[in-house]
Amino acid sequence: MLCMRFDVLTIFPDMFTPILMDSIIGRAVKSGILEINTINIRDFSKDKHFKTDDYPYGGGSGMVMTPQPIYDAWQSVVNGLDYVPKLVYLSPQGNCLTQKKALELREEKHIVLLCGHYEGIDERIIELIVDEEVSIGDYVLTGGELPAMVLIDCVSRLVPGVLPSEEAFSNESHYSGLLEYPQYTRPYDFMGKTVPETLISGHHANIDKWRQEMSLKRTAQKRPDLLKPSPL
């Protein structure tokens, strides 16, 4: 049963093959829970050389992605649909991708992701068809493909059936707004370092208490900003 669909508008569709084939996302695609399509923007270029970029008006270094191929690639997705899917443009000017944003995007049944390149895309595309700009962080990449994969990964794992159980993500970092507690597995003694006694006590109330304390302590140490009540 299809739970979520992603269409990716990109000039490098092959970059997505590995994630679509392997691992948790690949398995969810094979089982039909997820549908992930890549659309090559270059296929829609009306330029005789299938160009998808041109010089920026006003001069300056670098190239800008031209509007026509992007617009027609997007049209190829929405044509025939009785709804207009949300179009997300991955860009450093976007809303920061957080666990909260991922939970919000999971509610969309169908998301179209637009991957820019070079200096970016013609502003008129943003004005005409982009619903939201999303950034994965305050740094500049060569393209929007890696951010699109990050978004697909963090949203998809929140789709029921993609991870073994809801529990798998309900008590992890950022889900509760805190960083996750330390994890341990066998062997009990590794290079002389042993597992905290509480965790092998079998006393679940004490284990939960220990984990809550460790999450709070770690968050205070590593990300005190997460503990501050949001100004709003």
Residues in the site for ligand 4FV, rule: CB under 6 A?
90-92, 116-118, 120, 135-137, 139-141, 143-144, 147
- Measuring CA to CA, which residue among 148, 130, 143, 6 is closest to residue 70? 130
Residue 112 Cβ vs ligand 4FV, minimum distance, rounded to whole Å: 15
CA distance 110 to 74: 13
Using the minimum distance from each CB to ligand 4FV, give the nearer residue, 72 or 132: 132
For the bound state, the minimum distance from the C-beta of residue 120 to ligand 4FV, rounded and expressed in Å, comes to: 5
Sequence-distant (≥ 6) Cβ neighbours of residue 219 within 8 angstroms: 178, 179, 226, 227
| 12/50 with CB nearer ligand 4FV | 12
Judged by DSSP in three states, 202 sits in coil
Toward ligand 4FV, which CB reaches closer, 58 or 80?
58
Least gap, CB of 69 to ligand 4FV (angstroms): 15
| DSSP character at residue 159 | S
Q: Please name the amino acid found at residue 201.
A: S
Nearer to ligand 4FV, 13 or 147 (CB): 147
CB of 113 to ligand 4FV, least distance (A): 10
With respect to ligand 4FV, which residue has the nearer C-beta, 91 or 219? 91
Least spacing, CB of residue 122 vs ligand 4FV, in Å: 12
User: String of b and e for 145-176 (b: at least 16 CB within 10 Å)?
Assistant: bebbbbbbebbbbbeeebeeeeeebeebbbee
Q: Which of 190, 9, 189, 173 is nearest to 99 (CA)?
A: 173
- As a whole number of Å, the end-to-end CA separation of the chain is 39
Residue whose C-alpha is closest to residue 89's, from 67, 71, 112: 112
Q: How far is the CB of 182 from ligand 4FV (least distance, A)?
A: 30
The residue among 69 and 147 lying less far from ligand 4FV, judged by its C-beta, is 147
